[in-house]
Structure 1
Amino acid sequence: MKNAKSLYHGHRFPPAVIGCAVRWYFRFQLSLRDIEELLFERGVVVSHETIRRWCDKFGKGFAHCIKAARRKLGATWHLDEVFVSLRGEPYLLWRAVDQHGAELDVLLQKRRDKAAAKRFFKRLLAACPEVPRKIVTDQLRSYPAAKAEIPELANVKHVFVKASARLNNRAENSHQPTRERERRMRGFRKPGRTQVFLSNFWPIRQHFALKRHLLRASLYRKQLSERFAAWHRFTEVTQNPSAF
């Protein structure tokens, strides 16, 4: 029986370097050139274009592993949409999170009509193994119109809240890291690349972004160590990244 090829087959840099670069890019507000400089300080000479290719190639797989390993998702879906500008052209970024703040999925679309809402609902059902008990949205009429045409969601409780009253903060606050990253990147550009980036960005970032204000220092360090150990399993890293 042939041995399975390594995840990093054909790459001349060790897995610890690649995994660390990908984590830095999605976890922190760093540009590709920032990461190039940080690696150079550690004796690793690599171009920002190579780092971009690493993020494109490995980001999706790492994000998928994190999603598969996270705890069971909540039974309440909070949905919200926000405008983003791609080269001056407006798009809608649809996002869904559960009651714990874990992102379920994101979808970049041009419109906010019934067809767009229905497309997003179907994407959520494909990504989530269980149908929710309750859906919370703002008063956009596209949501109930699309929900009525999806049999799996027909009997799910639907709660409407006023967006101006900030009653759907769980979903609205989830846009903040995206907004911060959008400013750091000086705006998104291509729809396809933006969709790929945001699909990978939130799971990897949230894997390490613990709610440290709610944890004692000792418990925070313990949980963060567990997250790093899980990350090393996902990335198949056996070498200590601090060694390079």
Structure 2
Amino acid sequence: MRWYFRFQFSLRDIEELLFERGVTVSYETIRRWCEKFGASFAHRVKAARRKPGSTWHLDEVFLTLRGEPYLLWRAVDEHGVELNILLQKRRDKAAAKRFFRRVLASCPEVPRKIVTDQLRSYPATKAEIHELANVKHVFAKASARVNNRAENCHQPTRERERLMRGFRAPERT
């Protein structure tokens, strides 16, 4: 199951790897394991990770879900650890506020610095949330490479989207 989530192997590749190790299971069995134990596996991994860094990189990317455009908002710390994600239809101030609240709720400490692209929703939302009043906000231009940490975290999602020819359910993203 770890191979499926971590390395994005196909179910049939995992079936073959297990067969080489003497374990005979079908790819359907592996799929059921992933559905049944995937959430608890992710929960244990998140609980075991170290506390987040003091610099957060925030970014959003467009995905196609059942043929409709959605935004996947992602927060990553300075070490590349994903803090939180949120799938939404909008890219406005209310959506950014919902995302900030979710990230702050999942992390024990407030960051020293937030790095974002130049989306206007970020500073407007930051001004409304009192926990972020003393946090330094750095705007990264697309060519500046300051927000590469967040931009590069979208690559596995893009690869998975391409392999699956688009996502059909939100929990698959």
TM-score, length-normalised on structure 2? 0.90
Alpha-carbon distance in structure 2 between the residues aligned to 1:127 and 1:43: 40
Alpha-carbon distance in structure 2 between the residues aligned to 1:116 and 1:194: 21
Alpha-carbon distance in structure 1 between the residues aligned to 2:144 and 2:138: 14
Query: What do residues 2-58 of structure 1 show as CA deviations (whole Å, max 9, x unaligned)?
Result: xxxxxxxxxxxxxxxxxxxx1111122322233233334444343333222211222
Amino acid aligned to 1:62: F
Give the SS at the match of 1:163.
Answer: coil
Alpha-carbon distance in structure 1 between the residues aligned to 2:157 and 2:121: 24
1:111 to 2:129 alignment: no
Of residues 26, 40, 64, the one that matches 1:85 is 64
1:50 to 2:24 alignment: no
1:141 to 2:120 alignment: yes
From the superposition, tell whether residues 122 and 87 of structure 1 become closer, same or farther in structure 2 (CA, over 3 Å): same
Which position in structure 2 is the counterpart of 1:24? Answer: 3
Alpha-carbon distance in structure 1 between the residues aligned to 2:52 and 2:15: 36
Alpha-carbon distance in structure 2 between the residues aligned to 1:143 and 1:57: 36
Query: What do residues 170-211 of structure 1 show as CA deviations (whole Å, max 9, x unaligned)?
Result: 1111111222222223321112x235xxxxxxxxxxxxxxxx
Whether the 8 Å contact between 2:115 and 2:146 is mirrored in structure 1 is no
Alpha-carbon distance in structure 1 between the residues aligned to 2:49 and 2:20: 34
Which position in structure 2 is the counterpart of 1:190? Answer: 169
1:76 to 2:76 alignment: no
How large is the RMSD of aligned CA atoms in angstroms? 1.8
Query: What do residues 64-115 of structure 1 show as CA deviations (whole Å, max 9, x unaligned)?
Result: 2222222231111100001111232111111111111111111111111111
Alpha-carbon distance in structure 2 between the residues aligned to 1:148 and 1:116: 15
Amino acid aligned to 1:188: F
1:102 to 2:85 alignment: no
Give the SS at the match of 1:100.
Answer: coil
Alpha-carbon distance in structure 1 between the residues aligned to 2:50 and 2:24: 38
Alpha-carbon distance in structure 2 between the residues aligned to 1:98 and 1:157: 15
1:95-244 equivalences in 2 (<5 Å)? 95-191=74-170, 193-195=171-173
Give the SS at the match of 2:98.
Answer: helix
Alpha-carbon distance in structure 2 between the residues aligned to 1:91 and 1:59: 23
Moved more, 75-84 or 58-67: 58-67
Amino acid aligned to 1:66: V
Which structure would you say has the larger RCO, counting Cα contacts within 8 Å and 6 or more residues apart? Answer: 1
Alpha-carbon distance in structure 1 between the residues aligned to 2:64 and 2:147: 23
Larger radius of gyration: 1
Unaligned runs of 5+ in 2: none
Amino acid aligned to 2:83: L
Unaligned runs of 5+ in 1: 1-21, 196-244
- Higher strand proportion, which one? 2
Amino acid aligned to 2:14: I
Alpha-carbon distance in structure 1 between the residues aligned to 2:36 and 2:96: 29
